[in-house]
């Protein structure tokens, strides 16, 4: 059985952000620590920056035997709060995310129906005592799937 289109989209985005290393010409090494599906808490023994891909609530629209899906994907730049300037580290990772995701191929190799769309960048809410700060840039993947054929 083939992987779902949704899974393939997640894998493609994850592969793009995993390229974020100084060795590959980026400002940070945040791509060395990528989480899928949840926002991590970084402690003193963890890397100073990380990336999380968090899946939002999809917006399906019925079109006969097919659905047109608009899937929001928040790509988060996370930094340890104990850094000297944690928000500057977050800004560096946000810039790297944009450079890694926003390539000439905006269809993720044909996985999305129309070009990948970019939404806003916003700060993540920080709970009192949290060990991390962060911001996210939201992308929208628009794709279609058939009834019972993800």
Residue 62: CATH number of its domain: 3.30.70.1700
Rounded to two decimals, the pTM is 0.92
Per-residue pLDDT of the chain (150 residues; tens, 9 = 90+): 678 999 999 999 999 999 999 999 999 999 999 999 998 888 888 899 999 999 999 988 877 788 889 999 999 999 999 999 999 999 999 999 999 999 999 999 999 988 899 999 999 998 888 899 999 999 999 998 888 888
Name the domain count of the chain.
1
Range of the domain at 17: 5-146
Dihedral sign, CA of 46, 50, 55, 56?
Answer: positive
DSSP state of 149: B
Strands 34-36 and 49-55: parallel
In 3D space, the residue among 68, 69, 70, 56 whose CA is nearest the CA of residue 137 turns out to be 56
């Amino acid at each position: 059985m083939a992987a779902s289109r949704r899974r393939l989209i997640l894998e493609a985005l994850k592969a793009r952000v995993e390229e974020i290393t100084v060795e590959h010409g980026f400002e940070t090494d945040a791509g060395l620590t990528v989480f899928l599906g949840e926002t991590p808490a970084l402690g003193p023994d963890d890397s100073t920056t990380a990336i999380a891909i968090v899946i939002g609530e999809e917006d399906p629209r019925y079109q006969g035997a097919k659905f047109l899906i608009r899937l929001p994907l928040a790509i988060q730049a996370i930094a340890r709060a104990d850094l000297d300037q944690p928000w500057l580290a977050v800004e560096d990772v946000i810039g790297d995310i944009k450079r890694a995701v926003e390539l000439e191929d905006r269809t993720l190799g044909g996985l999305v129906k129309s070009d990948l769309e970019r939404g806003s960048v916003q700060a993540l809410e920080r709970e009192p005592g949290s060990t991390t700060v962060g911001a996210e840039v939201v992308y929208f993947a628009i794709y279609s799937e058939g009834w019972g054929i993800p």
